[in-house]
Structure 1
Amino acid sequence: MSPASPSSRATRPRGRSPRFLKPALAVIALALVAGGAWWWQGSRASTGEGPWRTAPVERGDIRVAISATGTLSATSTVIVGSQISGQVTDVLVDFNDTVEAGQVIARIDPSTYQAQIDQGNAQVLSARASLAQAEAALRNAELDHRRKSDLGNTQLVARADVDLSRAALDQARAQRDAARAQIAQQTASTRTSQVNLERTVIRSPVDGVVLVRNIEPGQTVAASLQAPELFTIAEDLSKMQIQLEVDEADIGQVEVGQGVSFSVDAFPDRQFRGEVAQVRLSATNTNNVITYPVVVSVDNSDRTLLPGLTVNAEIEVSRRDGVLKVSNAALRYKPSDAQLAASQGPGPRAGGGSGVADDLAKAAQALEPTAQQQSAFDEALAAIRERMAARQAAAPAPGAGGGMFGGPGMRVVTSGGGDMAAQIRQRMLQRYQQDFAAFRATLDDNQRVQWDRALNATVGARRAPLYRLVDGQPQAVMVRVGASDGSATEIAGAVQEGDLVITGERAAP
């Protein structure tokens, strides 16, 4: 029995080890979860984000484009028709053939017009014979009248005979003139037939490429009411154009010379470029949707693009390079009054130099004013700041439902806010014009023009509140809003590159 005892003691620890392993692993896992949670909370605290989602203010490019569709066509397309009726005897060109100006491309049976010419020539000969008869009769009438006039002077013939001879002379002259007119008429008729005979030969009016051929040999064309269309010739396919239909809401941003990028389904991997050549004023109403035609010129030197292709185009109406921009979500975010009251107490104000007055101060500095001009501007600006401070002091706190930012009573003047916004901007402009009237009077003509332009642009600029994250708390700042590409918007004001702005709130853990 004694030899088995050591063996029994040796196997007992291995039998107890699984009993202690599972609790130990559970303790380690709980410790790791607790450590991860502690690290995540510490990371959020270190970044100062707290319960908010943020995005940085970045510096980059803003490209604003308008989308539109259209169709490619040749810059100059000529429709070749027939001015005469007849049977087509020859068609000398086909689709896609290159033709030159004056080249014969079709013929119409000329026999009818040749017969008319022959008939006209015969009528001219007949008229000339009639003229010869009339001229002979005229000469006889002249001699007869001369003889009777001489006899009448000597009282050898009656005065009535002299009068009759004079009448016969006038009649002979009229018949001669009528014969001459008949010749001219028949000659003109023959010339018309000759012109129609020449029109039986259809020639290309321009150098180009045949796009459409509507006739076949043996076909009869009738030109009684309108000229039938025989061919369509594109004058130069190396220069093409696109006619885009632009919505009335966007047409105000389109100008001649703006760049256009477009694609066609035939070449999905290629991007083509063009330029706005014309903004036409003829509006089109389709199911109460108003559009305006915009013509885009396109260089097609490689002859890749084909007439009739459907185009998906973007007109680059604005491009801002190297500007401060922020996500559009930051401009849409509005914290509750309670959040603002808890984070900032009495309520936020327009941050720093982001207001209209500060923008005007920068505009005045750009004029390089003299000491007298600067003094006049400073006096006007001090009066404006005093008025604004009094107005802000009298405004209710955000928690009371008012204030400049965040509350239900917030009003942001934008460039597209309808009649009310337009009236507000107009009143603001008039007020600032009155405030700076003395300063404007000190400017010279060139400075006055620059100042008026800057004042109109500043007052008419769109403004909106942003909420920066400062020390873990939101801080409201009013910024001037510029161009937007749909995802990011240009801003200017009391913000810097790298500032964190709030775009939303995090879900509660």
Structure 2
Amino acid sequence: MADQDLSKLKIDRRAPAAAPRRRRPWLRYAAVVVVLLVLAGIAMRLAGPQAVETATVTTAYPTQNYTLLNATGYVVPQRKAAVASKAQGRLEWLGVLEGSRVKRDEIIARLESRDVEASLAQATAQVKVARANLELQQAELRDAEISLRRSQTLLEPKAISQAQYDADLARYNKAKASVSSAAASIVSSQANAQAAQVSVDQTVIRAPFDGVVLTKQANVGDNITPFSQASDTKGAVVSIADMDTLEVEADVAESNIAKITLNQNCELLLDALPDTRFAGQVSRIVPTVDRAKATVLVKVRFVDRDARVLPDMSAKIAFLSKAAPPEDRKAVTAVQPGAVVSRDGKQVVFVIRDGKAAEVPVTAGAKVGDLLSVQGVKPGDVVVLSPGEKLQDGARVSVAKKA
């Protein structure tokens, strides 16, 4: 029994071996691909964002293509006046404020005038006295003339003496001279009255031309003394400018003055109105050179008037080789040419958004100066400058340099 039990514990080495399992090689390849993809993702993360140079999409005007010269200056009125009075006195009434529009000869202020009005009344009274005296002398002349005629009639028959006749003749001549003197007195008194009237009129300050009040230098109660520098006195009351005569003055280097001619077409850009381009023409070139700055003063008039243009606004002037058509005076979207590349047969730019480069199709147009007009992006967008072939849509980027 013991021997039988031990025999059961022996291994039968003659039993057939198990059949080998079939191998699947595609599983090995799939695993390799997955591992490579994982390693590529890890490598991209470790590599970090690509460093790129960027440029900003901006606006440009086609007139830059035929601009000969650029200059800066200021808007000034050709006709401007500091309005004052020749009279001296206290400002009694002021009827305008800054920005008020006035017409020629419109009363804008008055000075106290009681003293000169009293002088005018006295001069007017003297005219009346002179006229009354003339009437008296004319009556005396008529009486003397009648006496002289009577004496002439009585002298021939010797009814009166020669002495009587001579006395009547002298009286007539004296009366005649008195009439002439009285007439001259009237002229003199009228001249005095006119001078007094002028003094009264000088206390009334009128606008010299149609314009707009720019500044107000005095207030009611101030002492106006135009020809004196006395303390606490004012000279001019207001400053007025004719807005229809606004022009731009610019200093141009004498080395560039040969590029400018009378009536040359210009384009004006005001810093206060950056979205509007104004047409202009050269009106005057001042025939003298500023030795200190080696410049020549050039004045450009506005072809189109605009109520928004005000004196002393800073302006930029582009002197053109030809007149700008209306379409060239409109802004176009432009970018540096190096930002536009060809991918898959189309023109694109890479716009940076949230740290990634987004591929955006664009339509390129004509060159505008050193820039290229494009459609498909908007001013203010930041694009990659000279993107390489390795830059793909959605790639993370970092700005290394801004152009």
Would you say same fold, with TM above 0.5? yes
In structure 2, the partner of 1:175 is 178
Note the 1:415-430 alignment, pairs <5 A: none
Structure 2 unpaired stretches of 5+: 1-63, 325-367, 371-403
Q: Of the candidates 246, 253, 258, which is equivalent to residue 240 of structure 1?
A: 246
Q: Which structure has the highest helix share of the two?
A: 1
In structure 2, the partner of 1:307 is 311
Q: Is the 8 A contact 1:248 1:292 kept in 2?
A: no
Aligned-pair Cα RMSD in Å? 3.4
CA distance in 2: counterparts of 1:284 and 1:231, whole angstroms: 33
- After TM superposition, the score normalised by the length of structure 1 is 0.45
CA distance in 1: counterparts of 2:85 and 2:323, whole angstroms: 51
* 1:87 equivalent in alignment to 2:90: yes
Structure 1 unpaired stretches of 5+: 1-60, 321-484, 488-509
In structure 2, the partner of 1:115 is 118
Q: Of the candidates 281, 287, 291, which is equivalent to residue 276 of structure 1?
A: 281
In structure 1, the partner of 2:339 is none
In structure 1, the partner of 2:215 is 212
* 1:166 equivalent in alignment to 2:169: yes
**In the superposition, relative to structure 1, how do residues 132 and 279 fare at CA in structure 2: closer, same or farther (>3 Å)?**
closer
For 2:315, what is the secondary structure of its paired residue?
A: strand
Identity %: 25
The residue type equivalent to 1:231 in the other structure is V
Note the 1:88-487 alignment, pairs <5 A: 88-223=91-226, 228-236=235-243, 240-267=246-273, 269-270=274-275, 272-287=277-292, 289-297=294-302, 299-303=304-308, 305-317=309-321
Shift of residue 66, structure 1, vs aligned partner: 1.7
The residue type equivalent to 1:63 in the other structure is Y
CA distance in 2: counterparts of 1:160 and 1:295, whole angstroms: 87
For 2:248, what is the secondary structure of its paired residue?
A: strand
Shift of residue 258, structure 1, vs aligned partner: 2.7
Shift of residue 315, structure 1, vs aligned partner: 1.1
- After TM superposition, the score normalised by the length of structure 2 is 0.56
Q: Is the 8 A contact 2:144 2:175 kept in 1?
A: yes
Q: Is the 8 A contact 1:101 1:205 kept in 2?
A: yes
**In the superposition, relative to structure 1, how do residues 79 and 319 fare at CA in structure 2: closer, same or farther (>3 Å)?**
closer
Count of paired positions: 261
Q: Is the 8 A contact 1:65 1:318 kept in 2?
A: no
CA distance in 1: counterparts of 2:115 and 2:167, whole angstroms: 49
Q: Is the 8 A contact 2:265 2:323 kept in 1?
A: no
Measured against aligned partners, the alpha-carbon deviations of 1:149-207 in whole angstroms (never above 9, x if no partner) come to: 22322234443443343232112111112112212322332233234334433233444
> If you compute each CA radius of gyration, which structure gives the higher value, 1 or 2?
2
CA distance in 2: counterparts of 1:62 and 1:103, whole angstroms: 49
Q: Is the 8 A contact 1:244 1:296 kept in 2?
A: no
Q: Which structure has the highest strand share of the two?
A: 2
Measured against aligned partners, the alpha-carbon deviations of 1:87-111 in whole angstroms (never above 9, x if no partner) come to: 2101122212233445432111121
**In the superposition, relative to structure 1, how do residues 75 and 291 fare at CA in structure 2: closer, same or farther (>3 Å)?**
closer
